[in-house]
């Protein structure tokens, strides 16, 4: 079978057509209007590569893309563009793997109680910002999300690869947002997981008020069905969830109720942020939480961009973000942000935020698998894709080096999803999911915003054009 396929590949090459050209041609007109590079063989020359493995940046590299995959990558002195390739001379540019957004919802919540499904803006914002793979990490309108994934996979809508998460599960009456499933017995937890497994979801996500018994049942049922489990927890501590076999924990230290004093079992304590403010992110208590996670191989998701707007004085005037919002939302966001910035006290102080940064550093230093995602919720200041880029800058602020941050946001995310053999790094044989950035990313983190072309499956998309398509529309659809 393998020989047969190889023979066909060779024959197709000789005939001058290719699988990649067919794939670009099979995209709908709706998608093709954003495609700027459709040739089957492309060589990117003169670029700096930060490859996602944590290796140091390498200058003056050539990347050869063939039929949707990375065929070769290496120094210009060794790797030459093949005959017939489209050559893109990209001196002064950086190439990184497509970003893997591990907390990248297809809905958006924002100021004034807004909550919209992002069937239109989400896929375009993510792809245009360099995010080529997302995990939805909790759905509000699960069938809308199943349909969005199907439309992207069929080439009807431009967007990232989508790993679907079921609706949130929580305890009590279903959480503050009211869109979650209220699970109040282990039987209900198993029934819920079995249903969504059958509908094609690959992850479940537990929320702040779930009980230990119900979470344990949900995790067990998920694993039986080949799914994985993550949580934005509180009623269950990180250490308790790790002992149950959870696969991933969201938001880092800011949702770890392990630091709350006198936490009642199965209850989210009201004052737990005070515990985080006082906790030492590198002290023995934090180290015990980190060790438990590392020993059991539990990954952690950094979502700094969603918390940042709640910190008074931070991210107060990001014109680029505001320009994407529909005008009433711009006004609502500015009003909310002004209120946060002028409040006399806030649970999200600069000290709390710095603790979160330090905890993530300590987790990685201890050998933990840290990935990242935007979480386009909260105050509404972290938009799909833009917030992923902001995470890059914030992880740099946390003290990670540029190769480390790229690794967290690409290959590490691929590892969380179990797709690291196929994507997540700039290495020969992997799918050609690549982001071309104008400038030197290693010298200046802001370069993460300077996306020119995003390759997904070796097809190049025009980033400015994708972003222009959603300008003024965020907050509508
Ligand atoms: Zn979330």
pTM score: 0.94
CA of 422 to the centre of ligand 1 (A): 26
Rounded Cα gap, residues 255 and 238, in angstroms: 8
How far does residue 70's CA lie from ligand 1's centre (Å)? 32
CA–centroid distance, residue 108 to ligand 1 (Å): 10
CA of 378 to the centre of ligand 1 (A): 9
Ligand 1 centroid, distance to 391 Cα (angstroms): 15
Residue 10 has pLDDT above 60, yes or no: no
Structure confidence at residue 176 (pLDDT): 60
Give me the pLDDT at residue 125, please. 98
Per-residue pLDDT, averaged over 192-205, amounts to 98
130 and 98 Cβ atoms separated by less than 8 Å: yes
Tens-place pLDDT, residues 136-188:
999 999 999 999 999 999 999 999 999 999 999 999 876 665 789 999 999 99
Helix H or strand E segment including 143: helix 142-153
Strand 181-182 to 228-231 pairing: unpaired
State the Cα angle at 93 between 463 and 49, rounded to 5°.
Answer: 105
DSSP, collapsed to helix, strand or coil, labels residue 19 as helix
Q: Rg for the chain (alpha carbons), in Å?
A: 22
State the distance from the centre of ligand 1 to the C-alpha of 204, rounded, in angstroms.
12
What would the pLDDT profile of 426-455 be if each residue is shown by its tens digit? 999 999 999 999 999 999 999 999 999 999
Pairing assessment for the beta strands 58-66 and 41-49 based on DSSP bridges: antiparallel
Encode pLDDT of 92-122 as tens digits.
Answer: 999 999 999 999 999 999 988 899 999 999 9
Cβ burial of 261 (10 Å; 0-12, 13-18, 19+) is exposed
Please tell me the CATH code under which domain 99-417 is placed.
3.20.20.140
Tell me the two tokens of residue 14.
């000789």
The stretch 326-348 carries a mean pLDDT of 93
The answer to whether residues 97 and 424 touch, using CB atoms and an 8 Å cutoff, is yes
d(CA 315, CA 226): 40
- 41-49 vs 86-89, strand pairing mode: parallel
CA of 137 to the centre of ligand 1 (A): 6
- Centre of ligand 1 to C-alpha 207, Å, is 9
Residue 216, classed as helix, strand or coil, is helix
Q: Which residues is 101 bridged to in the sheet? A: 134
| Ligand 1 centroid to residue 105 C-alpha, Å | 7
How far away, in angstroms, is 121 Cα from ligand 1 center? 17
What CATH number labels 18-98+425-468? 2.30.40.10
pLDDT mean over 311-324: 91
What pLDDT digit, counting tens, does each position of 53-84 carry?
999 999 999 999 999 999 999 999 999 999 99
Start-end ranges of CATH 2.30.40.10 in the chain? 18-98+425-468
Token pair for residue 298? 């539990």
Distance 325 CA to ligand 1 centre (A): 20
CA distance 431 to 69: 4
CA of 248 to the centre of ligand 1 (A): 13
Say how many Å lie between the CA of residue 54 and the centre of ligand 1: 27
Distance 76 CA to ligand 1 centre (A): 42
Alpha-carbon 264 to chain mean position = 33
């Amino acid at each position: 079978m393998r020989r047969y396929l190889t023979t066909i590949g060779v024959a197709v090459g000789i005939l001058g057509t290719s699988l990649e050209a067919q794939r670009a041609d099979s995209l709908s007109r709706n998608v093709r209007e954003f495609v700027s590079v459709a040739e089957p063989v492309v060589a990117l020359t003169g670029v700096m590569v930060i490859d996602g493995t944590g290796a140091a940046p390498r200058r003056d590299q050539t990347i050869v893309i063939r039929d949707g995959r990375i065929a070769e990558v290496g120094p210009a002195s060794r790797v030459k563009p093949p005959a017939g390739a489209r050559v893109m001379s990209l001196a002064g540019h950086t190439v990184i793997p497509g970003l893997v957004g591990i907390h990248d919802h297809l809905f958006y919540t924002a100021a004034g109680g807004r909550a919209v499904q992002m069937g239109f803006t989400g896929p375009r914002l993510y792809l245009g910002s360099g995010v080529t793979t997302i995990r939805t990490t909790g759905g509000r309108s699960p069938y809308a999300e199943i349909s969005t994934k199907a439309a992207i996979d069929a080439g009807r809508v431009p967007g990232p690869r989508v790993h679907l998460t079921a609706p949130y599960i929580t305890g009590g009456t279903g959480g503050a947002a009211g869109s979650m499933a209220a699970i109040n017995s282990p039987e209900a937890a198993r029934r819920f997981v079995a249903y969504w497994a059958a509908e094609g979801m690959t992850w479940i996500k537990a929320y702040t008020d779930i009980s230990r018994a119900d979470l344990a049942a949900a995790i067990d049922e998920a694993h039986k069905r080949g799914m994985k489990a993550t949580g934005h927890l509180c009623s269950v501590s990180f250490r308790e969830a790790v002992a149950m076999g959870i696969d991933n924990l969201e938001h880092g230290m800011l949702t770890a109720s392990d630091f709350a004093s006198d936490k009642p079992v199965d209850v989210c304590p009201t004052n737990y942020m005070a515990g985080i403010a006082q906790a030492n992110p590198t002290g023995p208590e934090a180290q015990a939480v980190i060790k438990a996670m590392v020993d059991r191989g539990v990954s952690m998701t950094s979502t700094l961009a969603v918390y940042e707007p709640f910190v008074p004085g931070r991210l107060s005037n990001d014109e680029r973000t505001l320009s994407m919002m529909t005008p009433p939302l711009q006004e609502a966001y500015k009003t909310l942000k002004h209120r946060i910035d002028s409040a006399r006290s806030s649970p999200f102080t600069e000290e709390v935020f710095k603790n979160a940064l330090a905890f993530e550093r300590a987790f990685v230093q201890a050998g933990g698998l840290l990935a990242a995602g935007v979480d386009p919720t909260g105050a509404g200041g972290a938009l799909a894709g833009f917030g992923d880029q902001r995470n890059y800058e914030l992880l740099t602020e946390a003290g990670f080096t540029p190769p480390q941050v790229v690794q967290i946001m690409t290959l590490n995310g691929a590892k969380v999803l179990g797709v690291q053999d196929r994507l997540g790094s700039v290495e020969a044989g992997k799918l050609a999911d690549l982001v071309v950035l104008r400038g030197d990313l290693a010298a200046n983190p802001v370069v993460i915003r300077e996306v020119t072309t995003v390759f997904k499956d070796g097809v190049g998309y025009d980033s400015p054009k994708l972003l222009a398509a959603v300008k003024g529309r965020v907050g509508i659809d």
